[in-house]
């Protein structure tokens, strides 16, 4: 369903200014953060010591290490007492989803539109601020999502810290058949415990509950040894490293994974920053696009030209911010690259001057 609400042009322009500023700040911060990430992984690569899980912790106290192997959960099984779900694992997560309305705002030349769609969502969506009546979500729910983690997980002669255990994600589903206690008004249906009469055709306010647990058999880490356990290693640029991953990995493999994750974040934030700037500039010209939109055929052509121009402007804006940020955070690299460009241009000019002029043909 959809409802229309007229928005003022001034509000669109103001929002455009905010988006351009936000995109610019994000791009600038992202470049600095990326440099800090690069320096941190380089520092880790230089200082990390690869050890076996049966090494003597006292020999490596205070050192940055990489290790991996089979781990043991020393605690009793983790239990969701409300439903009697129990599993011997490092992590047990109860996932509670509610079938609710979700409002989405869409702006165009004619104002602001609000779309309303039904779907399963973890956590309650407050419908009191919705712009259209008749899309009411429940204000409370019988049960909430919850997470439980083991208190003692050993890796050879070492104990994982609570921060490391909490990084051991609940990666495998636990069926509703594991629920020994089902509250009144609920039933088991497939993978879920639910109060819905029919999960294939749910109603607003219906609840479905499932569980996940950590199914890892081996774990690898990069962290600093502290006693017989670990703490985060803080790099010279202030970044904490307390890396945990599934399976047995070498230090080189984990560092490469860290670099790949940093690269992905860098490019995703660059794209997001660019989109903020692009949408901000589009909001700037919204009065013009609305004006030309009333002209048949010509309006579409002009508005396409506007959009293309804004796209190119946003690209230039983003590149300028990134380049200036490079000069701020990577001055030596920029000087080297600049020097290479200048020398290359000089060589090209000198070669052109030395090239002999073509001989004139006899008449």
Mean pLDDT score, 198-210: 95
Q: Quick check: 9 pLDDT over 70?
A: no
pLDDT in tens, 225-241: 999 999 999 999 999 99
Dist. CA 338–CA 329, nearest whole Å = 15
Q: At what angle do helices 251-284 and 286-293 cross, to 10 degrees?
A: 60
- pTM exceeds 0.75 for this model: yes
pLDDT tens-place string over residues 80-128? 999 999 999 999 999 999 999 999 987 665 566 889 999 999 999 999 9
Quote the CA–CA distance of 328 and 31 in Å, as a whole number. Answer: 9
Render pLDDT for 75-85 as a digit per residue (tens, 0 to 9).
899 999 999 99
The whole-angstrom separation of Cα 317 and Cα 301 is 24
Token pair 């962290």 is at which residue?
223
Which residues contact residue 232 at a Cβ distance below 8 angstroms, ignoring those fewer than 6 apart? 163, 223, 224, 240, 241, 242
Query: Who's near 159: CB < 8 A, 6+ residues apart?
Result: 152, 153, 228, 229
Q: Which two three-digit tokens encode residue 148?
A: 């439980």
> DSSP label at 177?
G
Beta carbons of 280 and 18 less than 8 angstroms apart? yes
Whether 22 and 269 have beta carbons less than 8 Å apart is answered as: no
pLDDT class for 3, splitting at 50, 70, 90? very low
Contact 14, 280 (CB under 8 A): no
Q: 93-114 burial string, b = 16+ CB within 10 Å, else e?
A: bbbbbbbbbebeeebebebbbb
């Amino acid at each position: 369903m959809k409802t229309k609400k007229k928005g003022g042009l001034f509000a669109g322009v103001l929002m455009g200014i905010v988006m351009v500023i936000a995109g610019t700040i994000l791009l600038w911060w992202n470049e600095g953060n990326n440099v800090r990430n690069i320096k941190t992984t380089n520092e880790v690569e230089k200082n990390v010591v690869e050890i076996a899980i049966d090494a003597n912790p006292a020999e490596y106290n205070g050192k940055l290490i990489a290790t991996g192997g089979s781990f043991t959960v020393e605690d009793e099984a983790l239990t969701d007492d409300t439903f009697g779900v129990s599993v011997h694992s490092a992590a047990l997560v109860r996932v509670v989803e509610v079938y609710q309305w979700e409002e989405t705002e869409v702006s165009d030349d004619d104002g602001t539109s609000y779309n309303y769609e039904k779907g399963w969502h973890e956590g309650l969506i407050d419908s009191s601020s919705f712009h259209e009546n008749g899309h009411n979500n429940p204000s409370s729910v019988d049960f909430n999502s919850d997470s439980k983690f083991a208190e003692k997980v050993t890796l050879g002669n070492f104990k994982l810290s609570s921060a490391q255990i909490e990084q051991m994600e609940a990666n495998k589903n636990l069926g509703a058949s594991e629920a020994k206690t089902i509250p009144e008004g609920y039933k088991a249906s497939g993978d879920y415990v639910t109060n819905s009469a029919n999960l294939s055709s749910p109603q607003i306010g219906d609840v479905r509950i499932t569980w996940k647990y950590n199914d890892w058999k081996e774990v690898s880490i990069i962290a600093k040894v502290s006693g017989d356990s670990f703490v985060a290693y803080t790099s010279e640029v202030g970044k904490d490293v307390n890396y945990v991953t599934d399976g047995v990995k070498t230090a080189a493999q984990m560092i490469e994974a860290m670099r790949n994750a940093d690269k992905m974040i860098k490019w995703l934030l660059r794209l997001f920053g660019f989109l903020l700037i692009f949408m901000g500039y589009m909001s700037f010209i919204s009065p013009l696009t609305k004006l030309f939109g009333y002209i048949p055929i010509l309006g579409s052509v002009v508005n396409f030209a506007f959009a293309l121009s804004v796209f190119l402007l946003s690209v230039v804006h983003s590149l300028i911010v990134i380049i200036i940020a490079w000069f701020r955070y990577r001055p030596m690299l920029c000087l080297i690259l600049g020097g290479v460009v200048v020398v290359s241009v000089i060589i090209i000019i000198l070669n052109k001057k030395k090239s002999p002029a073509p001989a004139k043909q006899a008449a």
